[in-house]
Chains A and B, each alone.
Chain A
Amino acid sequence: SQTIHQWPATLVQPVGSPLSLECTVEGTSNPNLYWYRQAAGRGLQLLFYSVGIGQISSEVPQNLSASRPQDRQFILSSKKLLLSDSGFYLCAWSPWDRIYTFGSGTRLTVV
């Protein structure tokens, strides 16, 4: 069966520090991968999606970047965090039937 792992669960980082959130999928090949952000009290905003290794599409211009170094690995990064980067980050994957499965999320607080 397919599983998705996302870590860390919670992160507190100072302004200006770098960021690396990792997401991995098991039990499938060539999944579509997605990064979403959920600000406090708001809906989910699609940040990045990837249909293959090295293929990244950005939905919203921002201080963040994404990379897909391996088929089932998706990384969200920042060189210098801003206060506005605080939020709840969710990774997701979808197969051919387009049913999205979400990771457990990372709560990022920038202080």
Chain B
Amino acid sequence: AQTVTQSQPEMSVQEAETVTLSCTYDTSESDYYLFWYKQPPSRQMILVIRQEAYKQQNATENRFSVNFQKAAKSFSLKISDSQLGDAAMYFCASLRSGGATNKLIFGTGTLLAVQP
């Protein structure tokens, strides 16, 4: 079974600073995907970044990057130059690769506050 753990219920960062959100996961699959989703107050789920487990290179999307440590089963999200609009709940999620049924399993989330 897949499990995703986010040990930081809340985090805070100053505007323009950098913050790292932690995530660990457990899966018996050899091939899988990992995601970070952002949920602002509107509650719309927005994909932030995606990582394929077979790729060693860490994914990057503008100010967002991940530190993917496959052996340690760790997948942290780094937000650089934090902006007020980054304030949201962030969810880490894992997805088994292959097969007809793909189930996205979420962690419990980290609420990020950005201080001006």
Identify whether the interface residues of A are mostly helix, strand, loop, or mixed: strand
B40 vs chain A, min Cβ distance (A): 12
CB contacts (< 8 Å) of A15 on chain B: these are: none
| Cβ contact within 8 Å between B45 and A99 | no
User: A88 and B104: CB pair below 8 A?
Assistant: no
Q: Which 7 A-B pairs have the closest CB atoms?
A: A102-B45, A43-B108, A44-B106, A43-B106, A51-B100, A98-B102, A43-B109
Q: Mark A29-45, 1 if CB is under 8 A from B, else 0.
A: 00010101010001111
Judge whether A67 is part of the interface by a CB distance below 8 angstroms: no
Which residue of the partner chain, among A42, A46, A92, contacts B105 with CB atoms under 8 Å?
Answer: A46
Q: Check B91 against A46 for contact (C-beta < 8 Å).
A: no
> What is the CA–CA distance of A100 and B95 in the complex, to the nearest angstrom?
10
Interface size on A, residues (CB 8 A): 24
Q: Contacts A98-B97, A100-B104: A43 and B91 contacting too (C-beta < 8 A)?
A: yes
B6 nearest in chain A by CB position:
A43
> Nearest A residue to B45 by beta-carbon distance?
A102
Cβ contact within 8 Å between B43 and A105: yes
- Contact status A99-B50, CB under 8 Å: yes
Chain B residues with CB under 8 Å of chain A are 33, 35, 42-45, 47, 50, 91, 95, 97, 100-109
B interface footprint on A66-86 (CB within 8 Å = 1, 0 otherwise): 000000000000000000000
Whole-angstrom distance from the CB of A108 to the nearest CB of chain B? 13
Q: Which residues of chain A are near B43, meaning CB under 8 Å?
A: 38, 88, 104-105, 107
Report chain B residues within 8 Å CB of A90: 45
- Is there contact, CB below 8 Å, between B104 and A43? no
**For B35, B45, B91, which residue has the most chain A Cβ atoms within 10 angstroms?**
B45
Once the chains are docked, how many angstroms separate the CA of A59 from the CA of B2? Answer: 13
